[in-house]
Chain A
Amino acid sequence: MTAANQTRRLAEGGLVDRTRPLAFTFNGRVLCGYKGDTLASALMANGVDVVARSFKYHRPRGIMTDGPEEPNAVVTVGEGSSRTPNLKATEVVLHDGLVARSQNCWPSVDHDVGAVTGLAAPLLGAGFYYKTFMAPRGAWPRLYERLLRHAAGLGRAPKGHDPDSYEHRHSHCDVLIVGAGPAGLAAARLLIQAGLRLILCDERSRPGGSLNGTMQGIDGESGSAWAQRVAEEIAASPDVSVLLDTSAVWLGDHRLVTLVERRRGAGGVAERLWLVRPRHVVLATGAIERPLCFPGNDRPGIMLASAAAAYIHRYGVAPGKRAVIHTNNDSGYGVLRHLCQAGIDVKTIIDTRPRDAIGEAALDMIRDVDVLAGHRIVATAGRHRLRRINACAADGSRRSIDADLMCVAGGWSPTLHLLGHRGGTLRHDEDNAACGDDVAVAGAAAGVSGLAECLADGARAAGTVLQALGRDIPEFRAPEVDAETETLSGSPNGPSCSTLDVRQQRAAFVDLQNDVTALDLMRAIDEGYGAIEHLKRYTTSGMGTDQGKLGNVMTIDIVAEATGQPVEEVGHTTFRPPYTPVTLGALVGHARDEHLFPTRQTPFHHRHLAAGALMELSGPWHYPKCYPRDGETVDGAIEREVRTVRNAVGFVDMSTLGKFEIMGSDAGIFLERAYASRVENLALGRCRYALMLREDGVVLDDGTVARMAADRWHVTASTAHADEVWRHLERLRQVEWPELDVLLVDVGEQWAGLALAGPHARDVLADVAPELDVSPEALPFLGFRETRFDGARARVFRISYSGELAYEIYVGARHGDRLWNAVMAAGTPFGIAPYGVEALDVMRIEKGHCAGSEFDGRTTPAELGLGRMTRRDTPFLGHALGRQRSIHQRLVGLVSTDRRTPIPRGAILVAGTARSRSLGHVTASVVSPTLGQPVALAMLQGSFCPDDGELRAVSPVAVLDVAVEITGLPFYDADGGRMRA
C-alpha cells in the first residue's frame, strides 16, 4: 500500500492534503487516499471502475456524480455491528482505517453470478413486483420469496448492538443558511454585518460548493481559497456556527429544520442530529446537473460533466484518459477546458441539438474538437468500463468513437427538495416558487446561473430576510469575479433529457439505482400509468435511496413526450424528507436501551427489588411481576402468591393507580355527569365502583369514587388509563362544563398505596392503623375512612379486586417505606407475602372482574355484564348513544372441556371446524391455582348459539386448538361472601 498506487491521481492540484495519506479497505483490498477525499474520489484515484452492481440486473456500475444525487456507487461501510449499509461513496468522507464493501454482488463485484438475471430481464420489467411473481400462489413462500430476497435488497442491516454513539442537539438562531456555496456565503456575510445569529451548514467537508469544482477566481484568489477564507471569517463572528459535513434533511412545520452532522472518524459522537428552529431560512442549496437518457447510459466511465470537473479540481483525480462530452445545452462545452487542463484527451462533443442551435460562445471554446451536432447515442460498449460510443446523426449516418470517459451535461435542476417538504408542488420553470415569507431561496437553487449573479442573488436573499426582520440592509460589496475564468453559463437549456425515440431503448436507464429503463416507463404508460405519482409506484422509478435526484427529470420528460403533455402539466412526484438517507442511529440519538422512553417507579420500587421481585415494564411503570423465592419457578411463585392471598394474607403495590381529588360545590354534579354510575347520592365515608363512558357509549375506564366530604371526592382510574382519564376530566371541566364550580387535582404521585388482601387482612390492618376501628360494622365493605398512620395522614378504602377481604391503605409517598415495614411486621405472624401483577391478574380472572383486555375501547357496559352499573334515569356522558347501541358480544367465562388443557391467550373462538367464522376471542386466560383447572374470560358474539357445534378456542399463532365450554361468572366465590366478610 503506497500512495503510488493511485494511478489516476494527477501529479498536482486538487484540494486534498497530499501530506496526509489515509489507508482504507475496499472489498478486502487495502488502498490509499488523502485527507479531503471522499470514498468515491479515493476509489477513482486508485483506478477502481466498478464500485457496485445494480439492483435488479446486477450490471456493473461506477461513480457518476460527486454528491448526494449518486445513484450507483452505493456501498456498505464499517464492519460487524457498526456496519452501515446503503451509503453513497460520494457522501462518505474518507478516514484512516475505513472499511467499505460493494453491495448487490456475489461472489465479487467484478464477477457477479447474479448478472445472469440480466438474461431474465424481460421478467423484471415495469410492475414486475405485481405481475411476474403472482401465480401460482403456492410458489410464493418456497420459490419467489427466496428468489426475491436473495436477488433484491440494498445491503444488509447490522444485527448487533451499534457501538457508536449519537446525539441530538436543539438550537435556535435568527437565520439558518443551507449551503455554503457562493450564494450562501454572500448571504451569510451580509447577515453577519447586520449582527444576526446565524447557522451556516453545508453537506460537504469544505465550504465553497461549486467553487471547489471549477477554476473560477474571486477577488484575485481561487474560488475555493476565497470560500475557505470567507467561511473562516464567518465562523469567527459572534453568535455564528458553521457546520460542515452537515446535511439539511428536513424542512418541517414552523421552520423546524433537521440537520445531520456526520463526524465518523473524527472521534466522539459518530453523528449528531440538529433540530434547529430559525426565524428565517435561506436555501442556497445549488443545483444538480441532469443526466441524459440513451442506450447503455449506465456504463462505468459515464458521469456528469460537473462531477468530472469536480474530481479534477477538488480531488486532483483524472476521471478518464480519452473523453467524449455529451450535451444538449451550452453548459456542456464548459467542461472542455477542465478536461484539457487535466491532460485528458477530448476528441468529440456529441450535441443532440442541430448546429444552428448551439451558442456562439460555446463554439468559441472548442479547439481541435469534433462537434457532432444533431447526433444521438445509440449504443455504448465496454464490459467493466466504457470503451466505445456509437452515435447516429439525424440522416442515419453512424459514427463510432473510442473513449473511456463520457461527460454528460443535460442542464441543471435547482435543488429545491427542502422546499417541497412544506407541501405543494414546484413549478417547472421555478420562477420563485411559493416559499412563504420565512424561507428565501438564493443562487442556483433559485434558477440563477453565473457566479457573479449567484453572489448577488445571495445578497438579495439576505436583504429580503433583513427586511422581514425590520433591520437595515448593509451595503453589499460584490466580490470581483475573474472574467477570464468565468464558466459558460446563462445559456438556455436545449431540449431537456431524452429527445430520442424512447420506444427503441432497451438499456436506456432513467433510474439507475432501481434499474428502471425508458422502455419500462413506456410500457407502464401504455398500461395506463400515465400519472406521474402512479408511474413512480408502478415502475419504482425514483424510489431508491437517491430519491431519483437524477432520474426524476428524465422520467418527467419521457412522460411528457409519450403522453404529449407539456412538462408543467406532468408535474413531479412529492419530495419527502429526508433529503438524503439518515441512519437510524442519528434519529434515535441517545434514546436507546433504558433511555428509549422515560419510565416511572413507585415509592416502593427499592422494596420490590429488596424482596426479590422479578420486575417488568407495564406501560411506563416498573412493576413487580412476582417475587420468586430460592428455587422457585415463575409459575410456582405466582401460584404461591395466589394461595397466600386466598388462605392467609398478601399485599400488593397500588401506587400506580390514577388518583384525583375533585372538589367544589358542583363536584357531585360534575361526577354524576362524567360517570355512568350513580355517585351523587354516595354517603360520606363510602366509596363505590363506577364506570366512565366515552361520548359514544363505549367504556372508557372503571375506578372507585369515594366521598370524603360534602364537596370533596377522591376518585381513582386504572393505571393504563390514568393519563387519558385525566385529560378527559379536565376537558369536561375546562371546555364542556366551565359553568360548574369544580376543581380537579391530580394526586397520583402524592400517595403510596398498598392493598392488603386475604382472610387475615383485618388483623393486619388493625395492627398497622391502631387508631382505626376496623370492625365490619365501623368499616363495612365499600367503606372509606381517613385515619393516621404513625403520625401521618392515611386513607383506607375497603375495596377488593382479588375477591378476598381487602383494604387499600394510602399514605404520603414519602411514608411508603414505613408502611411497607409496618405491613410486613404486622403480617408476619399470618405468613404475609407481597404479590405481583401476575397473581393480581389470576385472582381478578377467577373473580370475573374486567380489566384492560376487556375494556379494549370496543365494549359497552351491557356487553361486559355491567349494565346494572349504569343509571337509567338521569343523563350522563355516553348516555344518548350508549342507549342505542345493540349488544354484539358478551363477556363469558370459559373452561376447557377436558378441564386440563390451558386455553390459549388471544385465541379466536369458532364453532365446529377450525376454518369457520370467528365468534369472538379470549381476552384473558389462566390456569387457576384456586380451582385447579384452566379458566378464561372471552368476548363471545351474540350470534353464537349452542346448535352451531362445539366451541373451540383456536390460536393460529401458538398452533393450539382447544375445546371449551361456557360457564357462568365469576369462577370463584359467586355470592361475594368472602370480600364482604
Chain B
Amino acid sequence: MLIIPCPWCGDRDESEFSYGGAARPLPSLDADAEAWRHALYSHDNPKGWREELWFHEFGCRKWVVVRRHTVSQEIVDSRQPENPS
C-alpha cells in the first residue's frame, strides 16, 4: 500500500485514490485516428521513474500527477496536472 503525497491534502493512503495511468496529455479532439491510437495503445512501460495520474477520490477529488519509481515504488513528489513542471 503506497503513501501518496497529495499537493492539497498531504500524505494520504493509496486506498483514498483511484489510479489513472501514465500522465500524458490526450491528443486534441480533431487529431487523426493514428494520433489517438498511438496515445491509447502504444504505451511506454518504463523500468524506473514515471509520472502518472491518481484521482484523490475519497479526499479532495483532485487529479494529481505523481512521480513513482516502478521498481522500488518510491514516490518523490506530486503536482497539479495543469502546472507542468
Task: Collect the chain A residues with CB atoms within 8 Å of residue B55's CB.
Answer: 727, 730-731
Measured in the bound complex, the distance between the Cα atoms of B27 and A881 in whole Å is 12
> Does A267 count as interface, using CB distance less than 8 angstroms?
no
Say which residue of A254, A256, A723, A731 sits within 8 Å of B20 (CB atoms). Answer: A731
Complex: chain A residue closest to B23, CB-CB: A735
* Pair B81/A253 contact, Cβ less than 8 Å: no
Measured in the bound complex, the distance between the Cα atoms of B71 and A423 in whole Å is 8
Measured in the bound complex, the distance between the Cα atoms of B1 and A254 in whole Å is 7
* Pair B63/A875 contact, Cβ less than 8 Å: no
> Does B36 count as interface, using CB distance less than 8 angstroms?
yes
* Pair B81/A735 contact, Cβ less than 8 Å: yes
Task: Collect the chain B residues with CB atoms within 8 Å of residue A883's CB.
Answer: 33
Please count the residue pairs between chain A and chain B whose beta carbons lie under 8 angstroms apart in the complex.
Answer: 68
* Pair A695/B26 contact, Cβ less than 8 Å: yes
Within 8 A of A (CB), among B1-48: 1-3, 18, 20, 23, 25-27, 29-33, 35-37, 39-40
Complex: chain A residue closest to B41, CB-CB: A696
Known contacts A727-B55, A727-B57, A731-B63: does B29 contact A738 (CB below 8 Å)? no
Known contacts A254-B2, A254-B3, A436-B72: does B25 contact A881 (CB below 8 Å)? no
Mark each residue of chain B from 58 to 72: 1 if its CB lies under 8 Å from any CB of chain A, else 0.
000111000000011
* Pair B3/A880 contact, Cβ less than 8 Å: no
Complex: chain A residue closest to B3, CB-CB: A254
CB distance from A691 to the nearest CB of B (A): 16
Known contacts A695-B36, A735-B63, A738-B81: does B1 contact A256 (CB below 8 Å)? yes
Measured in the bound complex, the distance between the Cα atoms of B1 and A730 in whole Å is 25
> Does A673 count as interface, using CB distance less than 8 angstroms?
yes
* Pair B73/A254 contact, Cβ less than 8 Å: yes
Complex: chain B residue closest to A744, CB-CB: B61
Measured in the bound complex, the distance between the Cα atoms of B7 and A871 in whole Å is 38
Known contacts A256-B1, A730-B61, A880-B36: does B53 contact A735 (CB below 8 Å)? yes
Known contacts A695-B26, A879-B29: does B63 contact A734 (CB below 8 Å)? yes
Known contacts A730-B61, A734-B63: does B1 contact A875 (CB below 8 Å)? no
Total A residues in contact with B, Cβ cutoff 8 Å:
27
* Pair B36/A881 contact, Cβ less than 8 Å: yes
CB distance from B83 to the nearest CB of A (A): 9
Mark each residue of chain A from 872 to 894: 1 if its CB lies under 8 Å from any CB of chain B, else 0.
00011101110110000000000
Task: Collect the chain B residues with CB atoms within 8 Å of residue A494's CB.
Answer: none
Measured in the bound complex, the distance between the Cα atoms of B55 and A348 in whole Å is 68
Interface of A is mostly: helix
Say which residue of A252, A734, A876 sits within 8 Å of B81 (CB atoms). Answer: A734
Measured in the bound complex, the distance between the Cα atoms of B62 and A723 in whole Å is 14
* Pair A736/B25 contact, Cβ less than 8 Å: yes
Task: Collect the chain B residues with CB atoms within 8 Å of residue A252's CB.
Answer: 1
Classify chain B: how many residues form its interface, as a range: 20 to 34
Measured in the bound complex, the distance between the Cα atoms of B62 and A877 in whole Å is 21
Measured in the bound complex, the distance between the Cα atoms of B30 and A339 in whole Å is 84
Mark each residue of chain A from 717 to 741: 1 if its CB lies under 8 Å from any CB of chain B, else 0.
0000001000100110011101000
* Pair A876/B29 contact, Cβ less than 8 Å: yes
Task: Collect the chain B residues with CB atoms within 8 Å of residue A735's CB.
Answer: 20, 23, 25, 53, 63, 81-82
* Pair A880/B61 contact, Cβ less than 8 Å: no
Measured in the bound complex, the distance between the Cα atoms of B2 and A254 in whole Å is 6
* Pair B2/A673 contact, Cβ less than 8 Å: no
* Pair B61/A253 contact, Cβ less than 8 Å: no
Measured in the bound complex, the distance between the Cα atoms of B78 and A197 in whole Å is 29
Measured in the bound complex, the distance between the Cα atoms of B63 and A731 in whole Å is 7
Task: Collect the chain B residues with CB atoms within 8 Å of residue A875's CB.
Answer: 29-30
Measured in the bound complex, the distance between the Cα atoms of B26 and A735 in whole Å is 9
Say which residue of A253, A695, A876, A877 sits within 8 Å of B1 (CB atoms). Answer: A253
Say which residue of B26, B37, B40 sits within 8 Å of A736 (CB atoms). Answer: B26
Known contacts A254-B2, A735-B81: does B40 contact A696 (CB below 8 Å)? yes
Task: Collect the chain A residues with CB atoms within 8 Å of residue B25's CB.
Answer: 735-736
Task: Collect the chain A residues with CB atoms within 8 Å of residue B3's CB.
Answer: 254, 277
Measured in the bound complex, the distance between the Cα atoms of B18 and A401 in whole Å is 66
* Pair A880/B33 contact, Cβ less than 8 Å: yes
Task: Collect the chain A residues with CB atoms within 8 Å of residue B75's CB.
Answer: 254
Complex: chain A residue closest to B26, CB-CB: A736
Task: Collect the chain B residues with CB atoms within 8 Å of residue A877's CB.
Answer: 29
Within 8 A of B (CB), among A487-546: none
Measured in the bound complex, the distance between the Cα atoms of B52 and A553 in whole Å is 40
Task: Collect the chain B residues with CB atoms within 8 Å of residue A696's CB.
Answer: 36, 40
Mark each residue of chain A from 218 to 248: 1 if its CB lies under 8 Å from any CB of chain B, else 0.
0000000000000000000000000000000
Measured in the bound complex, the distance between the Cα atoms of B63 and A735 in whole Å is 7
Task: Collect the chain A residues with CB atoms within 8 Å of residue B33's CB.
Answer: 880-881, 883-884
Mark each residue of chain A from 259 to 277: 1 if its CB lies under 8 Å from any CB of chain B, else 0.
0000000000000000101
Measured in the bound complex, the distance between the Cα atoms of B13 and A253 in whole Å is 11
Task: Collect the chain A residues with CB atoms within 8 Å of residue B2's CB.
Answer: 253-254
Measured in the bound complex, the distance between the Cα atoms of B61 and A247 in whole Å is 37
Task: Collect the chain A residues with CB atoms within 8 Å of residue B53's CB.
Answer: 731, 735
CB distance from A671 to the nearest CB of B (A): 13
Measured in the bound complex, the distance between the Cα atoms of B63 and A876 in whole Å is 22
CB distance from A476 to the nearest CB of B (A): 31
Measured in the bound complex, the distance between the Cα atoms of B1 and A253 in whole Å is 5
Complex: chain A residue closest to B1, CB-CB: A256
Complex: chain B residue closest to A253, CB-CB: B73
* Pair B18/A727 contact, Cβ less than 8 Å: yes
Complex: chain B residue closest to A734, CB-CB: B63
* Pair B29/A673 contact, Cβ less than 8 Å: yes
Task: Collect the chain A residues with CB atoms within 8 Å of residue B37's CB.
Answer: 881
Task: Collect the chain A residues with CB atoms within 8 Å of residue B36's CB.
Answer: 695-696, 880-881
Task: Collect the chain B residues with CB atoms within 8 Å of residue A738's CB.
Answer: 81-82
Complex: chain B residue closest to A254, CB-CB: B3
* Pair B29/A881 contact, Cβ less than 8 Å: no
Task: Collect the chain B residues with CB atoms within 8 Å of residue A736's CB.
Answer: 25-26
Measured in the bound complex, the distance between the Cα atoms of B23 and A382 in whole Å is 67
Complex: chain A residue closest to B29, CB-CB: A875
Task: Collect the chain B residues with CB atoms within 8 Å of residue A673's CB.
Answer: 29
CB distance from B52 to the nearest CB of A (A): 12
Task: Collect the chain A residues with CB atoms within 8 Å of residue B82's CB.
Answer: 734-735, 738
Measured in the bound complex, the distance between the Cα atoms of B11 and A229 in whole Å is 39
Most A-side CB within 10 Å, residue of B1, B25, B29, B40: B29
Measured in the bound complex, the distance between the Cα atoms of B62 and A875 in whole Å is 26
CB distance from B70 to the nearest CB of A (A): 11
Measured in the bound complex, the distance between the Cα atoms of B34 and A579 in whole Å is 48
Task: Collect the chain A residues with CB atoms within 8 Å of residue B57's CB.
Answer: 723, 727
Within 8 A of B (CB), among A908-963: none
Task: Collect the chain A residues with CB atoms within 8 Å of residue B81's CB.
Answer: 734-735, 738
Complex: chain A residue closest to B28, CB-CB: A875
Task: Collect the chain B residues with CB atoms within 8 Å of residue A731's CB.
Answer: 20, 53, 55, 63
Measured in the bound complex, the distance between the Cα atoms of B30 and A968 in whole Å is 36
Measured in the bound complex, the distance between the Cα atoms of B71 and A15 in whole Å is 45
Complex: chain A residue closest to B35, CB-CB: A880
Measured in the bound complex, the distance between the Cα atoms of B19 and A727 in whole Å is 10
Complex: chain A residue closest to B81, CB-CB: A735
Known contacts A254-B2, A695-B36, A727-B18: does B29 contact A734 (CB below 8 Å)? no
Most B-side CB within 10 Å, residue of A275, A673, A730, A883: A730
CB distance from A53 to the nearest CB of B (A): 40
Complex: chain A residue closest to B20, CB-CB: A731
Most B-side CB within 10 Å, residue of A423, A727, A876: A727
CB distance from B21 to the nearest CB of A (A): 10
Q: Can you offer 27 A-B residue contacts whose CB atoms are under 8 A?
A: A277-B3, A423-B71, A673-B29, A695-B36, A695-B39, A696-B36, A723-B57, A727-B18, A727-B55, A731-B20, A731-B53, A734-B82, A735-B20, A735-B25, A735-B53, A735-B81, A738-B82, A876-B29, A877-B29, A880-B31, A880-B33, A880-B36, A881-B33, A881-B36, A881-B37, A881-B40, A884-B33
Given contacts A254-B3, A734-B63, A881-B33, 4 further A-B contacts (CB under 8 A): A735-B63, A736-B26, A879-B29, A880-B30
The 9 closest A-B CB pairs, nearest first, are A738-B82, A875-B29, A735-B81, A253-B73, A880-B36, A734-B63, A256-B1, A875-B30, A880-B33
